Amino acid sequence: MRSVDSRREIILAFLKTRGQATLGEVATHLEVSKQAALKHLEGLEAEGLAAVAHAQSHARGRPENVYSLTPAAADHFPHAHRELAGDLVEFLSEEQLRRFFEKRTARLEAEYAPRLAGLDFDARVRELAKLATEHGHMAEVVQLPDGGLAIRHCNCPIQDVAVRTALPCQNEQQMYERLLGASVERSTWVREAAADCTYQVRERGKQIG
């Protein structure tokens, strides 16, 4: 049975990934009743970590509440090493940074490749999102309206570095292309003040839409 603390962390992670969610969606994700989910959400509201608003709905009946995280919730996600990462940008030259991130990407690619071996395209995309999450990105796979897929990173573990230099993001995008054998395009980017980084992936030779 999950503890109150574990459910609290699950809700925080769910809202971080989704951006916002209704009471029903939170309850379904936790596999509990709406009443039980509401109790946890009210606790997060009391701590100043979650906010509630009425959902915009064209359906009849009472509008359902929608929950999202407050700025204060950011302290509950992994980022303690960002100060050190920021120092890296300050003290290394552009060439040193380039070599560093190339080597870092090569190490990650060597780690990821065996986990993706033998999987079909969709399974590789989903496994890659899991791997990114294991390394702090809190990634999810998003189904695009045209039938394509995207990997959305909701918690960049080196966001301060990514904002100051595009090198880690460029290497990551190229790594995704190699691992997936796909065309990868970035549709959102924290470096451009977005809340997340989204990579749209297109299987080469496959028509979408």
> Considering the entire predicted model, what is its pTM?
0.63
Q: Examine the pLDDT at 82 and tell me if it is beyond 80.
A: no
Cα distances (angstroms) measured from residue 198 to each of 33, 83, 104, 110, 187? 32, 24, 21, 23, 6
Q: Which residue has the higher pLDDT, 97 or 175?
A: 175
Q: Which pLDDT band holds residue 5 (cuts at 50, 70, 90)?
A: low
Nearest to 194 by CA among 168, 151, 150, 159: 159
pLDDT of res. 94? 84
pLDDT over 50 at 76, yes or no? yes
Cβ–Cβ < 8 Å for 176, 201: yes
Three-state DSSP state, 202: strand
Is 50 exceeded by the pLDDT of residue 102?
yes
Q: Note whether 173 and 184 are within 8 A (CB).
A: yes
Give the tokens for residue 95: 């060439």
- CA dist 164 → 1, 78, 136, 168, 174 (Å): 43, 19, 19, 10, 19
* Residues whose CB falls within 8 Å of the CB of residue 200, separated by 6 or more in sequence, listed in order: 144, 148, 149, 150, 184, 185, 186, 187
Q: Evaluate if residue 208 carries a pLDDT over 50.
A: no
Question: What is the arithmetic mean of pLDDT over 32-47?
Answer: 91
Q: How confident is residue 207, by pLDDT bands cut at 50, 70 and 90?
A: low
Average pLDDT, the chain: 84
* Confidence band, pLDDT 50/70/90 cuts, at residue 79: low
Give the domains, in start order, of the chain with CATH numbers: 4-76 (1.10.10.10), 82-203 (no CATH)
